[in-house]
Structure 1
Amino acid sequence: MSANATLPIAWNSAALHELREHGGERPLLFTGARIITLDPLIGTVTGDVLIGGDRVVGVGPGIVTAAGDDAAIVVRAAGTTIVPAVVDTLAAVGARVQRDLNVGTLTPGVAADLLVLDDGDDGDDGDDGDDGDAADVPAALATLLRRPERLRAVVVAGRPVRWDGQDLTAPAAVAGAPCAQDLSGSPHLGVWVDRTGFLHQELTADGRYDETRGGRPHAFQGRFWIDGDRIDYLDDLGFWAFGEFVGDELHHAGYVMRRRVDPQA
């Protein structure tokens, strides 16, 4: 089976169905997991992670008792370890001045970005390395890299984006694939020129850019993608770069450009 093939959903499929129907409207509760919070006060606990909107709102044992009251979508997560998707080493050693500044922990109040990993505990208590090999953050990261099939869920800002081996979002554009974006009517198309006139960058409706530097035409050419105020470039030479639209300016690689107005327009 290819890496892009659709895999059957087996893990908590009923909960996933509810998430697809009511995600964002109801709280999401993972229950019965080992939770490595990376918060010095909470530590590692066995219990529940409650998510409301895009935030972690509760961590620890016993939250599941109120799941019915709150109409939470319950994911039975016994045999898994939940870790922050981003690791905040400063928070882990207690070096954040304020706990509400923690960015890579599972502290109530922080962004709900987390990974759910199958512990891989085969129950034989042997030394084959399969007994709870996601027992801490280094082991969990090693499992993620070496045994990706054990990744049960990825949650970003409170929403699942990967579940039991299946991507739940539309695939992003990749090198070699056609530019999958509708640029018709985009205010960002046209020729952008820096303040000195050294750099000219043309963005066209087919998702291509053409850059002139110091009067040298076609110095760089390639494809681009726009996501909100961010623009990503993939040059035909193979390197990636990015820029940012700030008001009526395009900031890129130290240059500040403005869109050239066509006098005939």
Structure 2
Amino acid sequence: MGREFQTSGRLRPVDLAREHGLSTQAVRNYEEDGILPAAGRTAHGYRTYTPLHAAALRAFLALVPGHGHRTAAAIMQAVNEGAEAEAFRLIDESHAQLLDDRRTLEAVESALRELQLQPVEGRAASAGMAAGGGTTFIGPLARKLQIRPATLRAWERAGVVRPRRDPRTGYRVYDDADVRDARLAHQLRRGGHLLEQIAPLIARVRAAGGLEPLESALRDWHGRLSARGRALVAGAAELEAYLRANGSRGGAAGGR
């Protein structure tokens, strides 16, 4: 790790706070919440910390970007209570969530590629466009996607597709954007994604104004996932340093 810790040596709350631009009250709150081990006290009742507390604070702050505040706090609380298995389980969950998010992104990109490979005219004609031009009804669209009309109605309730209603007949009318959204949803459903996962992705397509503008959003999405991955690695390094320091004293927080 390139860093050695001493468990002795007195530090004030302000010493820990200054390193990270925190308030001394924040440091005290972290201790009260179990994110830091319990502090020692002087004869006059003032809190005293050690380099071990500084390592705990560094570990917690390094965990936050990758895991979020709540999970990072739970990890540190588990470690300080001697429940390292629970801390590792929480870490595993964050990694699993990141992997799931990566797979979702891959599924979206795969679905978009399939849609973009299909000629626009062929899509419109095969979807059974109505006489009004650029629109179709629920039956032809369901047949094209090889799903039931009831499925399209369920997607509508979930916010995945948003067809308008013909004011005269009350029938659902799907325009080009609705057909695009239905096809994208169909690809994602075939990939095993739930409607509650698909709806926000379709909303991104709508907000971007179509598939091509979404490419920029996908690049940003890749960047955010990479940043989370690096943050998880950085947090793991600081947590390992704290675990080593904690174990070196054989204290209760280390549980070893």
Q: TM-score range by the shorter chain?
A: under 0.3
Q: As a proportion of its length, which structure holds more strand?
A: 1
Q: Scaled by the length of structure 2, what TM-score is found? A: 0.24
Q: Who wins on radius of gyration, i.e. which is larger?
A: 2
Using CA pairs below 8 Å that are at least 6 residues apart, which structure has the higher relative contact order? 2
Q: As a proportion of its length, which structure holds more helix?
A: 2
